[in-house]
Amino acid sequence: MRMVMCREATRLMSKNLDAPLGFQERMSLKFHLAMCGACRKCNQQFQLIHDAGKAFEEKASSPPFDTNDQTT
Amino acid sequence: MASWPDSSQSDTSKPSAERQRRLAAVRPRLLAFARLQLRDASEADDVVQEALITAVEKNARFEGKSGYETWVFGILKNKILDALRAQKRHGKWQPWSDDGVEAAIEQQFQSSGRWTDVARPSSWGDPENTLFSERFWQVFDSCMIALPDNIAKIFTMRELMGLSTHQICEEAGIKENNCWVILHRGRLLLRACLEKGWLSEANK
């Protein structure tokens, strides 16, 4: 397995949001994340940014039952 | 007019007062979406206007499978894609220049490939709460605007419009590998900007 550093790990976590990773890539990323707290945070935040796009539209297309929409 | 066989449909072809009210209510949100994607206020105004007109004209086609607003958003997304294609045809897409992006990313990493001290990610708190926070969206908006045009275009096609990287390659005329590189840069830049804005706001 190829050892990767943070910069390369961020490339893999980004690609993971767009396409399936190869086996080697997946293992390299998994191993790095197991060791690196900063990259675990980065991975969560990339995921959050990814979800934010969808959330933006959901928020924007929610029906206006209440103008100050605080429904849960 | 009255002799046309389908004239009986004209009653349902006009949006009800309720739908007209909902169209007016969703308009600012359509605009916010289109502005982020097209990065040009007057173009965004135009596509939203076109989308609203289409929603009115095709009113009878709304089948209620999704929410009404979601249906209108679908129309807007198609109009945005048309506008992006027109931008591209008219040579309005900036050439792929670096614009200091590489330098900004270099600052996030040491030569060893580790995070630099200033760029090392901090915790943002509970992701669920983050997305429900109005402040987060304000920071998100300003960070999106701060992204370089080229990157933002690809990034929003992926993350706002939900296109696959394969579709983006076709629209943008770039290789998929290039697309991944651009998205990686976009995410690194946006992450850094969000962290700066979000945590500084949170500590106020």
Provide the ipTM. 0.86
pLDDT at residue B116, rounded to an integer? 96
Statement: residue B6 has pLDDT above 50: no
Q: Are both B105 and B80 inside the same structural domain? A: no
Q: What is the mean pLDDT of each run of 10 residues along chain A (72 residues)?
A: 92 97 97 97 95 82 54 37
Here the CATH number for the domain that contains residue B50 is 1.10.1740
| Tokens linked to B23 | 């169209």
Weakest mean pLDDT among A18-22, B65-69, B82-86, B109-113 = B65-69
Owning domain of residue B118: 101-202
Do residues B48 and B124 share a domain? no
Least confident residue range of A12-16, B36-40, B107-111: B36-40
B48 in Cβ contact with B92 (< 8 Å): no
- Stretch 23-82 of chain B: residues touching chain A, C-beta under 8 Å: 25-26, 29-30, 32-33, 67-70, 72-73
Whether B135 contacts chain A with CB within 8 A? no
- Domain final residue pick, B89, B113, B131: B89
- What is the spatial distance between Cα B2 and Cα A64, in angstroms, rounded to a whole number? 37
Contacts of B112 (CB under 8 A, 6+ apart): A5
Domain count, chain B: 2
Contacts of A46 in chain B (CB under 8 A): 187, 191
Q: Can you list the alpha helix ranges (DSSP code H) found in B58-126?
A: 68-89, 101-106
Residues of chain A in contact with residue B180, where contact means CB-CB under 8 angstroms, are 11, 14-15, 18-19
Question: Which residues of chain A make contact with B113, given a CB cutoff of 8 A?
Answer: 4-8
**Contact check, Cβ <8 Å, A6/B191:** no
Instruction: Report the percent of chain B where pLDDT is more than 90.
Output: 54
Contacts of B57 (CB under 8 A, 6+ apart): none
Give pLDDT, residue A45: 95
Residues B15 and B72 in one domain: yes
pLDDT on residue B1: 42
Q: What is the pLDDT of residues B140-162, one digit of tens each?
A: 989 999 999 889 989 999 999 99
One domain, residues B105 and B41 = no
Q: Is residue B5 part of a domain?
A: no
Task: Tell whether B55 is covered by a domain.
Answer: yes
Q: Are residues B57 and B109 in the same domain?
A: no
**What does the pLDDT read at residue A68?**
40
Cβ B141 vs Cβ B39: under 8 Å: no
B59 & B138 share domain: no
Distance (Å) of CA B24 to CA A11, A33, A37, B193: 42, 47, 46, 33
Same domain, B70 and B111: no
* Residue of higher predicted confidence among B132 and B185: B185
DSSP state of B163: -
Q: Are residues B80 and B105 both part of a single domain? A: no
